[in-house]
Structure 1
Amino acid sequence: MDRSSIIKVIALMVTGFGIGIDFTGALMLVPAIENSFDADITSTQWVLNIYALFFAMTMVAGGRLGDMYGHRKIMIIGLSIFLFSSILCFVAPNLDFLIGARALQGIGAGCIWPCTLAFGATKVSKPEHRALVMGLILAGVTSGNVFGPMISGLAVSFGEWRYFFLANVVFSCISMATALLLMERETEHKKGEHIDFAGMAILSFAVLLLLYGLDMGADWGWTSVPLLLLFFVSAVLFTLFPKVEKRVREPLLLPQMMQNREFRITLGLNMFNVSAAFVALLYFPQYMQKVLGWSTFESALGLAPLTVLLAVGSIVSGTLYNDFGPKRLLLWGYLIATIGSASIVVLPTGLGYFQILPGMAMIGLGATLTVGPSGTAAVCAVKPERAGLVGGLSFMTHLVYGAISVACATAIMYVASLSNLGHRLAAAGIDMSKADQKVLNGGTLDTTSARMVMKKLSPDEIEKVKDAIASAFDSGMSMAFVFSTISVSVGVVLALMLDEDKLHKVES
């Protein structure tokens, strides 16, 4: 590559790095955010879920807007949104405000990411350098995934989780400057492009209602009329989505693609591989902090076996795809991830960090063998002219199901840990109201509400309660991984169903 192309690739890598640190880094802040806003895990999970959902639902539109108006222009608009929303996260006065700012961040990222990929694929280098350029951009993102937890750990060690979002501001400014100075304006754009806003809106509301219902189930009661009505409306919207897709001009899911068996299978393979990884990224740092008593920075280092494997594997998997083929990679990847997820359930609690280390490594390795290859397989299942659309759809599916997995796992975790906490308190002879148990369950003991509950107890009772809370969290996390194990195991079945011969001979 010439000097100009190298500089542009570095600029795109910096942009990718900023996207990468935001996703994993924010997860490490969950306990600190709980303390700051007096919240529990069912509420703070939205810091991850809302970002993933809005990122996913904006990405396809962001790519098409880039085609229509220029990738450089839409990238700069996305960076401006991301910069502004990062400032909002920094000054957020309450959890609802922070969640709204994270949604806006997701919209910005959804504009940035597809345009970054498109710019790298079409404008930076010669065609023979395209694979290298895309690999380097991906390396920027995965490097951000590794360093994100460390940056957030340092922010918390300095006494303020909000400092993490200043890193977003810095990288957004650098990325915007490089885009303005180093990336040339595009003069030719696609015409006649249409965006499926109706389909995006219906699918987004369906997922949002489902996530909100899973969040509120423990408070409203799982058989309450408002909750059942919420789930019913969500189900109606999910049912309505494919019918709307048949009527719009350029749907997210073309009917002819959905009639393609191999495409349906590969789309499913893009879904189920994220369940264990997303749940692990949310719960392992909390386990290290709430049960093992580690600091945020120590837990960031403890998470390295997962994040480093995800980073290295996402680059290596492209080479493995050609050598071994998608079916073999996906089957072994899903099997390893299933075993890793199940190990969290079956390993004894007294092992401490070594209770989660084997599962962490296997989940990371399983994701390595499935995330990239499943996306590539989906692209191979359709005509070449639909590759861009399917690439966006596969990543959208990936993120949406990841958000749903976290919500389902958290709902299960909260119910299981609350039940376990009640039994352990009763066994210890401590009489505590259900309301106080809910305050302590799934959160930290440093919130204002938790401190008020703990003030009612004697020193001896406080120690017993702390042991009960740690045990309850461990029990709840294990039940969350029961869900993940079942979810990931579906991918094993889908991988066995995949027909490689038909995959590479598709006519649809």
Structure 2
Amino acid sequence: MDRNSIIKIIALMVTAFGIGIDFTGALMLVPAIENSFDTDITSTQWVLNIYALFFAMTMVAGGRLGDMYGHRKMMIIGLSIFLFASVLCFASPGLDYLIGARALQGIGAGCVWPCTLAFGATKVSKEEHRAMIMGLILAGVTTGNVFGPMISGAAVDLGDWRLFFLANVIFSCISMATAILLMERETEHKKGEHIDFAGIGILSFAVLLLLYGLDVGADWGWVSLPLLLLLSVSAVLFFLFPKVERRVREPLLLPQLMQNREFLITLGLNMFNVSAAFVGLLYFPQYMQKVLGWSVFQSALGLAPLTVLLAVGSIVSGTLYNDFGPKRLLLWGYLCATVGAASVVLMPTGTGYLQILPGMALIGLGATLTVGPSGTAAVCAVTPERAGLVGGLSFMTHLVYGAISVACATAIMYASSLSSLKTRLATAGIDMSEADQKAINSGTLTTESSKAVLQKLNAGEAEKVRTAIAAAFDTGMNMAFVFATFSVAAGIILALMLDEKKLHKVEG
């Protein structure tokens, strides 16, 4: 491989690294953001969910725009959006402002990521080097996934979680400089490309309403009329999506794909493998901080059994796919992830870090065996000319279902922990209003609202409340992993249904 190609690969890996640190790094900030804006987990989950949703829904359009106007140009535009959004995150005066900035970050990342992959696959080197180049780009993003929590942990330990987004600004500037200086302009672009904005809009709005409904359900009441209307509108939009897709010129889901049994199975296999990983990435750090009392940086190190396995898995999964085949890998991967999620529920409470360590390791191993192979299997289920489209769709499905999983798990977690807290307070003989219980539920007791509640109690009662909150969080987290266990277990059924022989046959 020539020197010029090596320099371009390094530039692409730098860009991928910057995207990688943002996703996992932001997860570690959840307790700090709760404290800063005096809110709870049902609201701060949007810091993850809104980013994942807008990243997912922008990605297909970003890839198409790159084909039409140049991948280098769209990378620079996407990095500019990401850089501007990172500045907004750094300067966020409130949670709503931060969530909006994170949505803008997702749009920027959704423009950058598919163009980074496309540039690496088509512009950097000879075709025989393509697999290695793609592996190096994925290594860049997964290395970022490992270092992201450490960077956010260091930022919080330095006294301000916003410093993490300052790191985003720095990496965005470096990525833009490398793209401008090291990547040549493209002179040939695809013509006649069309983007399914109608399908993207309807699907995005349907998912957004569903996520919002899961967020406010505990406050509005799960059978309240406003919530039922909201969820009904979301259901109608989901129902309309395939009908709209039949009418647009180039739909996200081609009719041929919807009639391809193996493609539909692999799309499902791309969905369910994220449930335990996403829930774990959100709740394991909180467990370490809220129950074990660890610092953010210590929690980042404690999360390593999960993040390191995710990083290593992206590098070795291609070799494993060729050696063992998708069916065997996916089956064993889903079994590992299911056992891992179940172990979080079954491990005895009070065992500290050991309560979550087996779960982290098995969920990480399960993701190693499923994330890469499920995407590869989806591409193998269709004709070669549709590989790019299906690759984008599989990753989009991956992120969207991840966001839905987090929202469902959080709704279950919050309701379960609140019920547990109410029972424990009653057992301890502490009379507390429902509003005060909600103010301290699943929290760190360092927000202004929780401090006001504690001031009403004497020292002995306050200590009982702290114990009750930690135990209630543990209960809520376990229930979130009950959901994750059943969700991931659905992948076992799909893996058993997969017909490997049909994967490599050209569809009719």
Matched residues in 1 for 2:232 and 2:320: separation? 43
Matched residues in 1 for 2:283 and 2:223: separation? 27
Matched residues in 2 for 1:261 and 1:213: separation? 32
Q: Which residue of 2 aligns with 1:225?
A: 225
> Equivalent residues in 2 for 1:66-145 (5 A)?
66-145=66-145
Q: Which residue of 2 aligns with 1:49?
A: 49
Partner amino acid for 2:196?
D
Matched residues in 1 for 2:349 and 2:332: separation? 27
SS in structure 1 at match of 2:356: helix
> Equivalent residues in 2 for 1:86-485 (5 A)?
86-485=86-485
- Shift of the alpha carbon at 1:119? 0.3
Partner amino acid for 2:71?
H
Q: Which residue of 1 aligns with 2:507?
A: 507
- Shift of the alpha carbon at 1:506? 3.4
- Shift of the alpha carbon at 1:205? 0.4
Matched residues in 2 for 1:254 and 1:469: separation? 49
Runs of 4+ in structure 1 over 4 Å off: none
- Shift of the alpha carbon at 1:350? 1.2
Partner amino acid for 2:145?
N
- Shift of the alpha carbon at 1:444? 2.0
SS in structure 2 at match of 1:58: helix
Partner amino acid for 1:263?
F
**CA displacement 1:273-314 (0-9 Å, x = unmatched):** 000000000000000000000000000000000000000011
Matched residues in 2 for 1:294 and 1:147: separation? 18
Matched residues in 2 for 1:240 and 1:301: separation? 45
Partner amino acid for 2:146?
V
- Shift of the alpha carbon at 1:129? 0.9
* Greater alpha carbon shift after TM alignment, 289-298 vs 125-134: 125-134
Partner amino acid for 2:459?
P
Matched residues in 1 for 2:473 and 2:466: separation? 11
Matched residues in 1 for 2:8 and 2:65: separation? 21
* Greater alpha carbon shift after TM alignment, 442-451 vs 427-436: 442-451
Matched residues in 2 for 1:191 and 1:443: separation? 53
Quote the sequence identity (%). 84
Partner amino acid for 1:110?
G
**RMSD of the alignment, in Å?**
0.5
Matched residues in 2 for 1:141 and 1:25: separation? 12
SS in structure 1 at match of 2:160: coil
Q: Which residue of 2 aligns with 1:64?
A: 64
Matched residues in 2 for 1:208 and 1:322: separation? 38
Q: Which runs of 5+ in 2 are unaligned?
A: none
SS in structure 2 at match of 1:161: coil
Partner amino acid for 2:32?
A
Matched residues in 1 for 2:20 and 2:422: separation? 39
- Shift of the alpha carbon at 1:126? 1.1
Would the aligned equivalents of 2:442 and 2:470 in 1 still touch at CA under 8 Å? Answer: no
Matched residues in 1 for 2:317 and 2:325: separation? 11
Matched residues in 2 for 1:113 and 1:196: separation? 19
- Shift of the alpha carbon at 1:503? 1.1
Q: Which residue of 2 aligns with 1:40?
A: 40
Using structure 2 for the length normalisation, give the TM-score: 1.00
Aligned length: 508
Would the aligned equivalents of 2:443 and 2:469 in 1 still touch at CA under 8 Å? Answer: no
Using structure 1 for the length normalisation, give the TM-score: 1.00
- Shift of the alpha carbon at 1:199? 0.2
**CA displacement 1:480-500 (0-9 Å, x = unmatched):** 000000000000000000000
- Shift of the alpha carbon at 1:122? 0.6
- Shift of the alpha carbon at 1:408? 0.1
> Equivalent residues in 2 for 1:7-22 (5 A)?
7-22=7-22
**CA displacement 1:231-280 (0-9 Å, x = unmatched):** 00000000000000011000000011010000000000000000000000
Partner amino acid for 1:308?
V
SS in structure 1 at match of 2:350: helix
Matched residues in 1 for 2:307 and 2:27: separation? 12
- Shift of the alpha carbon at 1:504? 1.2
Matched residues in 1 for 2:67 and 2:10: separation? 22
**CA displacement 1:328-385 (0-9 Å, x = unmatched):** 0000000000000000011111111000000000000000000000000000000000
Would the aligned equivalents of 1:40 and 1:444 in 2 still touch at CA under 8 Å? Answer: no
Would the aligned equivalents of 2:341 and 2:481 in 1 still touch at CA under 8 Å? Answer: yes
Matched residues in 1 for 2:123 and 2:386: separation? 20
SS in structure 2 at match of 1:349: coil
Would the aligned equivalents of 2:335 and 2:489 in 1 still touch at CA under 8 Å? Answer: yes
Would the aligned equivalents of 1:276 and 1:484 in 2 still touch at CA under 8 Å? Answer: yes
Q: Which runs of 5+ in 1 are unaligned?
A: none
Matched residues in 2 for 1:75 and 1:110: separation? 10
Partner amino acid for 1:330?
L
- Shift of the alpha carbon at 1:505? 1.2
**CA displacement 1:153-194 (0-9 Å, x = unmatched):** 000000000000011100100010010011000000000000
Would the aligned equivalents of 2:62 and 2:112 in 1 still touch at CA under 8 Å? Answer: yes
**CA displacement 1:114-164 (0-9 Å, x = unmatched):** 000000001111111111111111110000000000000000000000000
**CA displacement 1:211-230 (0-9 Å, x = unmatched):** 00000000000000000000
Matched residues in 1 for 2:505 and 2:183: separation? 38
* Greater alpha carbon shift after TM alignment, 345-354 vs 46-55: 345-354
